[in-house]
Amino acid sequence: MKGSDLFVKCLENEGVEYIFGVPGEETIDLTDSLSRSKIRFIVARHEQSAAFMADVYGRITHKPGVCLATLGPGATNLITGVADAHLDKAPLVAITGQSALEKTHKESHQYIDIVTMFKQVTSWNSRVNRSDFIPEIIRKAFDISVDRPGAVHIELPEDVAKEESPKKPLFKKNPPHMVMHDERDLKKAAGMIKESSMPVILAGNGVFRGDAANELRRFVRSYGLPVVTTFMGKGAVPADDEHYLGSMGIKDRDHIMCGLEMADLVITVGYDYVEYSPRSWNPDGSKKIIHIHSDHPETDESYIPDLMLPGDIKQTLFKLEQQCDFKREISERFKTVRSRMRAELEDYKDDLSFPVKPQKIIYDIRECLSRNDILVSDVGAHKLWVGRLFPAYEPNTVFISNGLASMGFGLPAAITASFLMPERKVVAVAGDGGFLMNLQDLETAVRLGCNFVVVIFNDSKYGLIEWHEKKQFEQSIGTSFTNPDFVKLAESFGAKGMKIESAEELQPRLREALDSGGVWILDVEVDYSENIKLTEKLKNNFCEI
């Protein structure tokens, strides 16, 4: 069997449904083999977009998303999306082509050492030096991508892809991995919760990777514990649950930070450091911590758990709930934190000023979506407003680039969400800067028959950078630019577009776009003077509750 055929057979054996990528000369044997496979090759218009699509596939399905690029510039274009998946712990397998092995020891056209480059953004990577090694390498790559959630990378040189091999895919039954905790540890954890005066749960993205949202909700309600989520943990507990305080992720002292400052015990559940540094919420390392996660914590002087319960998060929460013999009432001080954050969104629902306030845009989007519909956020000033204020009710209904925080994530992410979950409405929010970074894949969205709406927060600036510059220097430098006509731009790709001319027009136009189907761009002029107002507000000592 030819190496590329064996490679594809091994991918089929791993349950791969899609490969997102851009073909190249050094990968033509692989794409030829895919043409005879049940795997669907989804052609993107840029390798970075392909990696983002695979990233979100991994987040939604908990199975590795697969992306493909050729050597040289194809691989370097791919690396940003691979790094994004790796830092956000989304399972992903990146495949790149390469020159023939005879060229790898000398200067050669388009040759760079991609394996060494990708080591920095993957849990493991390898070059296939012989076609006989393909089954073991692919099995190892997929196992590691899931066991240590994140990205892995395989390089397939063009001559190895042509090389014959008698090998076959490796068939293996994976027994469920489960860690059983000593009952004494579970009783100790329950005792710590019972004895604390103001315990708080901090829930992160690991809750979704462990499919543990239902167990977390039962645990929260059994003990009567307040919950804070990270931006990537949104939806782990419904925003309308009385135990939910809000989401944290900005560096300023926010309402939610005030809640954590009051806590004498923090129970972290599926919390990853990259989501929000522990130095931001436990700077002096004084808080007691119970660590519930799939693995041991990274060493950090601000995060020294008093008790660690590493293992299957779902099972740990289930077992710990069984130790519950009490239920506490939520502190009035915590209720104040919750009501303040809710009010911040509600206060702007009837604001008809134009340009539109970011709070108003967030409110209107939420009103147009059901509990199970999807919001995707690109990176920019709007992401902080989404993270702070957008109410999420169900797991995996908000997708954000957080660890790498890469602009250009929104459109490719919306594409994957749309065609994987066609029964749900999808809205992507993007700044005018981030949207134009992967604009070319509007063509991909239209070609695939996707249905989603991109709401562009238009301020003709890199708004988040201007925000930071004004906070530090009281002026902005190098952040302004001009934009195209987004409506005509959308139409040139076969999509549809609308320019919002007033605040009261936004919600009905968004409903119209969502109901009519297809790919839509809504151009909304945003009033980002609210950014500086928020900064001034957070400087005030509102933590006195």
Task: Say which CATH class 3-162 falls into.
Answer: alpha beta
Q: Where do the H-state alpha helices sit in 392-528?
A: 410-420, 432-435, 442-447, 463-473, 486-492, 503-516
pTM assigned to the model: 0.93
More confident: 110 or 194: 194
What are 422-454's pLDDT values in tens digits? 999 999 999 999 999 999 999 999 999 999 999
Output the pLDDT for position 359.
Answer: 94
What are 286-318's pLDDT values in tens digits? 999 999 999 888 888 899 999 999 999 999 999
Output the pLDDT for position 179.
Answer: 58
List b or e across 370-401, with b for residues whose CB sees 16 or more CB atoms inside 10 angstroms.
eeebbbbbbbbbbbbbbbbbbbbbbbbbbbbb
For the residues 257-279, what does the mean pLDDT come to? 88
End-to-end CA distance of the chain: 70
Among 35-39, 118-122, 407-411, 532-536, the minimum mean pLDDT is found in 532-536
Domains 183-336 and 348-537 alike in fold: yes
What are 491-514's pLDDT values in tens digits? 999 999 999 999 999 999 999 999
The two structure tokens encoding residue 365: 């989007």
What mean pLDDT, rounded, does the chain reach?
Answer: 91
Q: Rounded to an integer, what distance in angstroms lies between the CA atom of residue 132 and that of residue 16?
A: 21
User: Do the Cβ atoms of 28 and 56 come closer than 8 Å?
Assistant: no
What are 3-37's pLDDT values in tens digits? 999 999 999 999 999 999 999 999 999 999 999 99
What is the architecture of the domain spanning 183-336?
3-Layer(aba) Sandwich (3.40)
Task: Return the percent helix, strand and coil in the chain, to nearest 5.
Answer: 45, 20, 35
User: Pick from 472, 484, 477: which is nearest to 462 by CA?
Assistant: 477
The two structure tokens encoding residue 419: 């065609």
What are 331-377's pLDDT values in tens digits? 787 778 778 777 888 889 999 999 999 999 999 999 999 999 999 99
Domain ranges of the chain: 3-162, 183-336, 348-537
The two structure tokens encoding residue 23: 């073909």
Q: How many CB atoms lie within 10 A of CB 253?
A: 16
Which of the four CATH numbers 3.40.50.970, 3.40.190.10, 1.10.150.310, 3.30.450.40 does domain 348-537 have?
3.40.50.970
Show contacts of 38-41: CB within 8 Å, 24+ apart: 38/12, 39/8, 39/11, 39/12, 41/68
The SS3 call for residue 161 is: helix
Among 104-108, 203-207, 208-212, the minimum mean pLDDT is found in 104-108
User: Do the Cβ atoms of 279 and 302 come closer than 8 Å?
Assistant: yes
